[in-house]
C-alpha cells in the first residue's frame, strides 16, 4: 500500500514537471504578435502630402463612346452614371437576352431602375461589369 502511494506521487510529480516545462518553453500568441509590432509606431507625422499617383484612375466615357458598342457581340450600357460592358451577361441574364440587348449602346438607367431599382442582387451583379464613369 505504501509503495503504491509513492508510485502515484512520483507519476503525478513527473506529469506536473513535464506540463510546467512545456508551458514555460512555448511562446504565447500574444508574445508573437507583440514581437512583430514595429518600434516606430508611436511617431507622429504631420503635414505630409498624400501621393495618389499610384491609385488607378477611373476611366470615363461619354454617351457617344457607349453608343459605339450597340450590338450583342459588343454591348456597353450606361446605368445611373456608370458604364458597364455587359456582352457576356446577355445570354446569362435571367430575364432573357432581349432585356440586355435593348440596352446596348444607350443610357439604360430608366429600364434598369424600372426592373431592378433598389434590389441588391441585380445591383451587385451589375457592378461586376463596371468599366468606368459616364461623363457628359
Pick the residue with more confidence: 62 or 136? 62
Mean pLDDT of the chain: 82
Q: What is the pLDDT of residues 74-119, one digit of tens each?
A: 999 999 999 999 999 999 999 999 999 999 999 999 999 999 989 9
- For domain 60-134, the CATH class is alpha beta
Q: Is the pLDDT of residue 6 over 90?
A: no
Q: State the DSSP H helix or E strand holding residue 39, giving kind and residue range, or none if neither.
A: none
State the cell numbers at 40: 516606430
Structural domain boundaries in the chain: 2-38, 60-134
pTM: 0.59
The beta-strand segments (E) located in the chain are 60-61, 70-71, 74-79, 82-85, 130-134
Query: Which band of pLDDT confidence, cut at 50, 70 and 90, is reported for residue 8?
Result: confident
pLDDT of res. 53: 55
Amino acid at each position: 500500500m505504501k509503495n503504491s502511494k509513492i508510485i502515484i506521487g512520483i507519476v503525478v510529480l513527473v506529469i506536473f514537471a513535464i506540463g510546467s516545462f512545456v508551458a514555460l518553453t512555448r511562446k504565447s500568441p500574444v508574445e508573437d504578435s507583440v514581437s512583430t509590432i514595429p518600434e516606430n509606431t508611436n511617431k507622429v507625422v504631420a503635414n505630409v502630402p498624400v501621393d495618389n499617383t499610384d491609385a488607378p484612375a477611373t476611366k470615363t466615357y461619354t454617351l457617344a463612346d457607349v453608343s459605339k458598342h450597340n450590338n450583342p457581340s459588343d454591348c456597353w450600357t450606361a446605368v445611373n452614371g456608370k458604364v458597364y460592358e455587359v456582352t457576356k451577361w446577355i445570354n446569362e441574364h435571367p430575364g432573357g437576352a432581349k432585356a440586355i440587348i435593348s440596352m446596348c449602346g444607350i443610357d439604360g438607367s430608366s429600364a434598369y431602375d424600372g426592373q431592378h431599382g433598389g434590389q441588391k442582387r441585380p445591383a451587385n451583379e451589375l457592378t461586376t461589369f463596371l468599366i468606368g464613369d459616364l461623363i457628359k
